[in-house]
Every structure is written in structure tokens, then in C-alpha cells.
Amino acid sequence: MIFDARDLIAFPGGANYSDTVLAGIHFNLTTLEHWNYTLYSNGTLSNGSKCMIVSEAYAPKLLYPNGTFINATSCYSPVNPIGLRAKIGIGFAVAFGFLLMGCIMALRKHGRLFLPAERRFRPIGRRWQWYWGILTATAAVISLFMNIDVDRYYLPELPIVLTSFFWYLLQMCTMALVWEAIRHWGSWQERQYIDPNPFILSQDDRRAMFEFFIPLVFYLFLWLNFFMIVPRSWGKLEKQRDDDQTTRYAAPTATGIRPKIAAFFLLASWLITVGSLRHSIKNYMPRNRGIVNRVIGFVGATPPRFVLLLIFSLAMIAYQALCAWEFEWSVLKVKGDRAAIYLGGYTPSLLILIVQIFYGWVSPNEDRELIRQRRQRGVETDRDLGLVKKPAWWRRLNPDYVAGGESMRDRIARNVNEIGGGRATTRGIDASLANRATEVEAQQNQGLEMNSLARTASNATARSGYGAGSESYGGKSDRRRTERTLAVAAGMLFPSETSTPGVAERRRELMLDGPPPPYNPTGENQGRGRSRQGGGGRPSSNERSTSTGTTGSLSGAPQQVKSMLDI
């Protein structure tokens, strides 16, 4: 604790020369002088290492010969009531707290992916502005809540340092937020520009190189601002216990050469942000000819959100520069101007967050917007080609319609599972052939001993072209049903007497009707075939054999074609 000699006062007299009275309590003056205690005009008692309040309410009750006080209150205790600076700070802190929740909600909305991540446009690129928004709101809340202890501490100490430190972080995070918002807007314009044709812009031209290096330059100046502000001695900022101490120690620290240079670095970051905006408008917006038209086009193409962000951020930088030259209006001063502190120090960042969160609330997710644009381009292309999109009810009636969001791969897998499909194995093929041979042999042995119901079913099956071995399987084995289905299909495609016994049986049944009717060139008997019981008529169309086998034709008599109906 350092005070000027003009702040020292003499100990008041007591009962004798070795006695003094402080706040109505007698203390041994010899002991106080032995331990180098000094009384100051602000009501404190200190010996350089210890400081105690000696006012009426907080004066110590007893002093031991070893220099120890009983019931003493430290000078750096929050004993004062909340002042105007703390009350306004609480209101601002609550507002920044709500904005912090808004940034988190906006991050969740705009950070979600609905399209595959692209290497050219990484998801973290659009999230950075919300990350910086969260850091901005957090730094503001800490700095503003520290203002409570700035007012309540009897003598300034650590709270004013924490308030000032997080206020400088608030300025840097706000500038980074503005930069990321404008940079990402340019990236979003590029993404929309190349989405119809990914090869319309090269990735190694002058434009791409500019977009690669300009973020590095911006963050270089931002971190230079950080290194000018943060790595320095903050202890002298606490020495604002009286006016003379404030003038000698605190003011030179707050208005030194480092804060002045830091303000210029922050202004350079702002100019780089404007340059990035100009670059994005030049490359991804309609171009204008002439200097005047370019200026008009630049102003017209700039979103209103960025106009507000750039104005508020410039006001923030101007106030930081003002604090570097005028300590009276600075946030770093304990008894500084309250209106200047909150209007210049916190209001620009508050307004920037409000604008950003409002934008995040009204604007759609970029992936969803890109999907909408692709769908719109598809509709326009279909209109140009003359294609008409089917209504929703048509897709449900279409056999190829996939319901419930089921993919084609899932649908094929479901169909394979229903018919009992699986990986073919040698054991399965051998078992299928053995079962088929057993069934064929059993059907050949039955012959004419089948009952009338089985004969009727067999005849109907034979007339329909499936053969005798194609009775429908009524069991529960999917594997057996598959094997029977394959056997029927093979019999239909490759009929023979050995593999399909139904051919010989069908030939025998057809010969029971007798020979075909005689040829009549006048066509009187066409369509009037004799009945089956008559023995001489031609079978009707639904009774003729549809077999394409050739085995019987090689062993039997040549067939005489009477008319085209016999073929």
C-alpha cells in the first residue's frame, strides 16, 4: 500500500503519551510505532504489509504487544454498499446472459449438418461466429459482475483488474465475431455460387490465395492487440486509493504507449474485415463498371446486418482509443464516468450480439437452404424439359414406391429375407438336387393310383403348362418352398421326359380324344370341334398342350398339320 506523505495524519492523543484513541478505543501508541503502523486520512491503518479499517463500524477491538489486532477488518474487503456502477453493471450482465443463451441456440441451429461435409466448406467455418459470440457474452458477464466488487471494496484491489482484463477480452472477441460473420458470409456466397457447377471456380487462383491468407493477417493484428494489452504489469492499476496516487500510478499505466498501439492494431483488424467484405462482393456478386457504380454496388450489395456490425465495431474501437488517451472516461478508472463506461465500453458489443442473434433466428440453416435451392433448380430444369412431376398419391400406387423412408437396399434385403435367400453353398445345392430326385421318383411311382382329387389337380396343372411335379407346396419351410419354385421354373424353361414327367402324361391325355378332324378347305368345320366324348373332335384352345418339348416328336410319328390352329 502506497500513499503520499500528504495523506498521513498524526495519531490522536490519549490518556498519556503512550496512548492513542481510534474510533473510541484506546491503543498502545508505543506498540503501534514499534511495528511501523501509520494512520492515513482515508481511515486506514497500515504498516506496508497489513492494512486495516479504523472507522467506527470496522475498527479493531484490541492490540497485542506482538502487533496483532483482534476483530480487525482488512482494507480490501467488500464493506461498502452497491453503487451506481454496480447497479448498471448488473442490468447489462443480465442482458448479456440472455444473449449467451441466444448464441448457444443459434449455434445449435446453424451448426447442424443435413448434407455430407465438404472438404472445401468445413462445418466449423460457419460455427466460428457463434463460438466468438459465446466468448464475447461470457467475457462481458464476468467483467460486469466484477463491477459489483469495484464499488463495494473499501480500497481498490483485484476487482478493478479483473474488470479491465475481461473488458479488453470483450473488445477482441467482439472484433473476431464481426470478422467471422463477414468472412463466413463470403464463404456462403461462394458455396451457393459453385453449387450448380463445382468447377466454375479454381481453387488455386488469385482469389483463392487471397481468401487463404487474409484470415491469417486478421488474426495476426488481433493477437498483436492482445499482446500489447495483456502481458504487462496490472498492479499499478489498483493504486487508485486517492487522487494523488491515481495520477502518479494508475493513469500512466492505463494511458501508456502499449494501449495506444493496441488500439491501432484493432483498427487495422477492422480495415481488413472491410477488405474481406469488398472481396466477397467483387467475386460473388454482379460486377459494376466505373468507380461510382462500384461504390454504389458495394453499398447496395452489403447486407444491412454488416452495415450495423461495422458501425458498432468502429464505435467500440474508437472508445478503446479514447481510453488510451483519456483516463477520466476509461473503464479502468474506479470512479470514472459511468455513462461513458457503459455507452462506449459495453453497448456496442451488446448491440452486435443482438444483431447477430436476430440474424440467426430469422435465417435458415445453410444446408436446408442449399437443399431448397437444389430442389428449385430441379423443378426449373424439369419445366424446361417438359417433365411433369407425379403427385404424391401416384407414388403410393406405383409398385416401385418405397414407403416409410426405406432405401432400395433395405427393400432388396427385405425381399431376399422373405423368399429365404442366402449365400449359396455346395451342401445346399446337393441337398436341393437330392430332394428333387426323390420327389420325381415318388411322383412316377404313383402313376394312375392317385385319387380323383389329386388327378384333377394334376390334370389342371398339366394343362396350365407346369407339369406333374409342380404342385404348390403348403409347408412352412422357406427353403423347401424355394427349391420347389426353382424346380417348377426349370421344368417350364427346359421340359423333358426325364426331368418333367408331366409331358408324357399330357401327350397320353391328348391322344384320348382321337385323331384330329379331316381337313376341310371350305372352313365349314372351323370352331366346331366334336366333343371329347365323341372321340373325333379337335380339343378346344384351353385343352391343347402348350409343351415345347422335342423328345416326344423324335420318337413318335410325324405330326400332320391340318390348319394353323393345330400349330
Task: Decide if pLDDT at 513 tops 60.
Answer: no
| Whole-number pLDDT of residue 180 | 95
Q: What confidence category does residue 215 fall into, taking pLDDT thresholds of 50, 70 and 90?
A: very high
Average confidence (pLDDT) over 322-348: 92
| Whole-number pLDDT of residue 519 | 60
Task: Decide if pLDDT at 358 tops 90.
Answer: yes
* Whether residues 351 and 280 fall in one domain: yes
Distance (Å, whole) CA 271 – CA 268: 5
Distance (Å, whole) CA 558 – CA 331: 117
* Whether residues 177 and 101 fall in one domain: yes
Q: Which of 225-234, 251-260, 283-292, 547-556 has the lowest mean pLDDT?
A: 547-556
Average confidence (pLDDT) over 146-164: 92
Q: Which of 85-89, 320-324, 369-373, 496-500 has the lowest mean pLDDT?
A: 496-500
Residue 351, all three cell numbers: 448491440
Asked whether residue 185 is domain-assigned, the answer is yes
* Whether residues 280 and 335 fall in one domain: yes
Task: Decide if pLDDT at 381 tops 70.
Answer: yes
Please choose, from the candidates 499, 527, 501, 533, the residue with its C-alpha nearest in 3D space to the C-alpha of residue 514.
533
Asked whether residue 390 is domain-assigned, the answer is no
Distance (Å, whole) CA 529 – CA 537: 4
Asked whether residue 336 is domain-assigned, the answer is yes
Asked whether residue 228 is domain-assigned, the answer is yes
DSSP-derived secondary structure for 315-372: HHHHHHHHHHH-GGG-TT-TT--HHHHHHHHTHHHHHHHHHHHHHHHHSPPHHHHHHH
Q: Is the dihedral of CA 41, 45, 46, 52 positive or negative?
A: negative
* Whether residues 277 and 220 fall in one domain: yes
Asked whether residue 435 is domain-assigned, the answer is no
Asked whether residue 414 is domain-assigned, the answer is no
Average confidence (pLDDT) over 16-29: 82
Asked whether residue 226 is domain-assigned, the answer is yes
Task: Decide if pLDDT at 435 tops 90.
Answer: no
Return the DSSP state at 78: B
Q: What confidence category does residue 562 fall into, taking pLDDT thresholds of 50, 70 and 90?
A: low
Using the 3D structure, point to which of 342, 364, 386 is the last residue of a domain.
364
Q: What confidence category does residue 344 fall into, taking pLDDT thresholds of 50, 70 and 90?
A: very high
* Residues linked to residue 153 through DSSP beta bridges, in sequence order: 78
Task: Decide if pLDDT at 288 tops 60.
Answer: yes
* Whether residues 121 and 38 fall in one domain: no
Q: What percent of the chain has pLDDT over 70?
A: 73
Residue 434, all three cell numbers: 437330392
Average confidence (pLDDT) over 97-113: 95
| Whole-number pLDDT of residue 535 | 43
Distance (Å, whole) CA 303 – CA 174: 19
| Whole-number pLDDT of residue 100 | 96
| Whole-number pLDDT of residue 43 | 82
Local structure of 9: helix, strand or coil: strand
Average confidence (pLDDT) over 103-110: 95
* Whether residues 320 and 448 fall in one domain: no
Q: pLDDT (tens digit, 9 = 90+) per residue, 293-323?
A: 777 777 888 899 999 999 999 999 999 999 9
Using the 3D structure, point to which of 321, 347, 364 is the last residue of a domain.
364
Q: Which of 29-43, 364-378, 398-412 has the lowest mean pLDDT?
A: 398-412
**CA-based end-to-end distance of the chain:** 124
| Whole-number pLDDT of residue 25 | 84
For all residues of the chain together, what is the average pLDDT? 79
* Block residue for cell numbers 408324357: 504
Q: Are 120 and 96 in contact (CB under 8 A)?
A: no
Task: Decide if pLDDT at 37 tops 80.
Answer: yes
* Whether residues 65 and 106 fall in one domain: no
Q: Which of 214-218, 239-243, 271-275 has the lowest mean pLDDT?
A: 239-243
| Whole-number pLDDT of residue 505 | 63
Average confidence (pLDDT) over 254-258: 92
Average confidence (pLDDT) over 533-553: 46
| Whole-number pLDDT of residue 482 | 79
Using the 3D structure, point to which of 332, 347, 364 is the last residue of a domain.
364
* 231-262 CB burial, b ≥16 within 10 A, e <16: eeeeebbbbbbbeebbeebbbebbbeebbeeb
Task: Decide if pLDDT at 559 tops 60.
Answer: no
The tally of domains found in the chain comes to 3
Asked whether residue 527 is domain-assigned, the answer is no
Task: Decide if pLDDT at 187 tops 60.
Answer: yes
Residue 9's domain spans which residues?
Answer: 5-70
* Whether residues 157 and 249 fall in one domain: yes
> For residue 37, is it left (φ>0), alpha (ψ between -120 and 50) or beta?
beta
| Whole-number pLDDT of residue 495 | 61
* Whether residues 39 and 168 fall in one domain: no
* Whether residues 210 and 332 fall in one domain: yes
| Whole-number pLDDT of residue 429 | 61
* Whether residues 57 and 149 fall in one domain: no
| Whole-number pLDDT of residue 279 | 92
The helix or strand, by DSSP H or E, that contains position 132, with its residue range, turns out to be helix 123-152
Q: pLDDT (tens digit, 9 = 90+) per residue, 460-508?
A: 444 444 444 445 556 666 777 777 777 777 776 666 545 445 556 666 6
| Whole-number pLDDT of residue 283 | 87
Q: Residue 98 is which amino acid?
A: F
* Whether residues 121 and 165 fall in one domain: yes
Q: What confidence category does residue 534 fall into, taking pLDDT thresholds of 50, 70 and 90?
A: very low
